Amino acid sequence: MVKAEVLVFNGADDPFVKQEHIDVFMAEMAHANVKHSFINYAGAKHSFTNPDADKFGKQFELPLAYDKQADQQSWAALSEALNSIYKR
């Protein structure tokens, strides 16, 4: 049994994460009664928080891309979640 909140940030255009995987994850979280949030960032691909993702994507011929807006939004959401848990 999970006694924590699960927070997931996903690039909606990440070809490594299929919709069926998201559906299974969401169903498992609901079945286990786990408080969870799943945020899909439209247009964001795999490694969207890594400023070097474009370089690595080209180097290794992978669908990686940095997305500044999704990076900033996910960081703000994580910071807000952590601040709500660990009030200062």
Give me the residue spans of the domains in the chain: 6-85
Residues whose CB is less than 8 angstroms from the CB of residue 33 and which lie 6 or more positions away in sequence, other chains included: none
Has residue 88 got a pLDDT over 60? Answer: no
Torsion, CA 7, CA 76, CA 57, CA 21, rounded to 10? 20
pLDDT tens-digit profile of 3-32? Answer: 789 999 999 999 999 999 999 999 999 999
DSSP state of 48: T
d(Cα 33, Cα 47) in Å, to the nearest integer?
29
pLDDT: is 4 or 56 the higher one?
Answer: 56
Its pTM stands at: 0.87
